[in-house]
Amino acid sequence: MKRFVGVLVILTFLASVCLLSVSFSQGQSELANQHKIVARLRNDKDQDKNKDAHPGEAGKPARPGSNGISYHGGPVMLGTNHMYYIWYGNWGANTANTILTALAQNIGGSPYFNINTTYYNGSNVHVSNSVSFGGSVNTGSGVYGTSLTDAEIQSIVRDALVSGALPYDTSGIYFVLTSAEVTASSGFCTQYCGWHTYGTINGFNIKYSFVGNPDRCPSACEAQTTGPNGNAGADGMASIIAHELEETVTDPNLNAWYDTRGAENADKCAWTFGSTTATGNGSVYNMTLGGRNYLIQQNWVNASGGFCAKSF
């Protein structure tokens, strides 16, 4: 009898361990992906910044093309993609909401976003020049504070989905946009200006991005201290948002399009703007979307040998 009780205790213990292991494993799927692709600082010339950021690709052969960027077999985002904004922190009456919402509403169908149609999946289906704005939600800094870890940034996205404020959308890109008093502890302003990655949230493959307010570090993350829309922080964020959008669409799971140095399409053209036009407030712009002027970095065209451009 004692032997039976002893065996029962051991079996119960092992079952508990297994249950805890499964629960831990499932919990881990909710945590931030340790891999992220960063948008480097303005004066950072390190072309290898993202060389080790693409997981599990070391033994997989790429399909190199003749355009300076290679396909690694993963999915791209097809059809209409949806941009969602999560305004985190204290935005108050900041005009960023108007400026950046207009960007999301008008970047789809533009000659600029059309560059992404030069990218395709393993079945040769190309990305569409179609983006829509899916909506936004405002989130104060009371829960997570003003210095965010990568895990907390994903939690901000998860909270917006679980609460129903934003939908679970595998064709969506969720942008966590932070006000100037908020930083990201993994290196905003010192290592990067923004980043993108993906994670599993309640069984959905969710693509999301962090974009900080460059007013926190103008010399690192703003191309100019006066913006064409009169808001240097928001105008600087517009270019970073565009950077993260086009990279997410062409490399959503970090296993599709990037070059031998780990650079994705927007990385290859970071902080280059092509020809510009001066405005009355002393700033410059290089494209007009929805009646607003923006200074947005160029993107890599995957055709004709490959090159940076503002349109295709």
pLDDT tens digits, one per residue of 223-278: 999 999 999 999 999 999 999 999 999 999 999 999 999 999 999 999 999 999 99
- For 153, the token pair is 């940034």
E strand map for the chain: 37-39, 63-64, 70-71, 81-88, 131-139, 147-148, 172-178, 183-184, 194-201, 204-211, 257-258, 277-278, 284-285, 287-289, 292-294, 299-301, 307-309
**Looking at the predicted structure, is the pLDDT value of residue 57 above 60?**
no
Judged against a pLDDT cut of 60, whether residue 153 lies above it is answered with yes
Instruction: Extract the tokens encoding 232.
Output: 């240097």
pLDDT at 12: 43
**3-state SS class at 148:** strand
Q: Are 37 and 50 spatial neighbours (Cβ–Cβ below 8 Å)? A: yes
- What distance in Å separates the CA atoms of residue 299 and residue 89, rounded to the nearest whole number? 30
Q: Among 144, 149, 206, 151, which residue's Cα sits nearest to residue 32?
A: 151
**58 pLDDT exceeds 90?**
no
DSSP calls for 28-54 = HTTSPPS--EEE--TT---TTTTTT-S
Six token digits for residue 170: 């595998």
* Cβ-defined contacts of 276-284 (< 8 Å, 24+): 279/228, 281/226, 281/228, 281/230, 282/226, 283/224, 283/226, 283/227, 283/228, 283/235, 284/224, 284/228
Is residue 147 within 8 Å of residue 96, measured between CB atoms?
no
What is the average pLDDT score of the chain? 90
66 contacts: CB under 8 Å, gap ≥ 6: 305, 306
Q: What does the pLDDT look like over 3-20, one tens digit per residue?
A: 444 444 444 444 443 433
What tokens appear for 155 in the block?
């939690």
Contacts of 248 (CB under 8 A, 6+ apart): 77, 173, 196, 207, 209
What pLDDT, on the 0 to 100 scale, is given for residue 10? 44
- The C-alpha R_g of the chain, in whole angstroms, comes to 21
What is the token pair recorded at 26?
């499932």
From the centroid of its chain, how far is CA 53?
14
Query: What pLDDT, on a 0 to 100 scale, did the predictor assign at position 4?
Result: 43
Report how far residue 40's alpha carbon sits from residue 48's, in angstroms, rounded to the nearest whole number: 10
pLDDT of residue 62: 77
% pLDDT > 90, the chain = 83
Q: Is the pLDDT of residue 282 over 80?
A: yes
**What is the rounded distance in angstroms from the CA atom of residue 297 to the CA atom of residue 286?**
9
Q: What is the mean pLDDT of residues 145-170?
A: 97
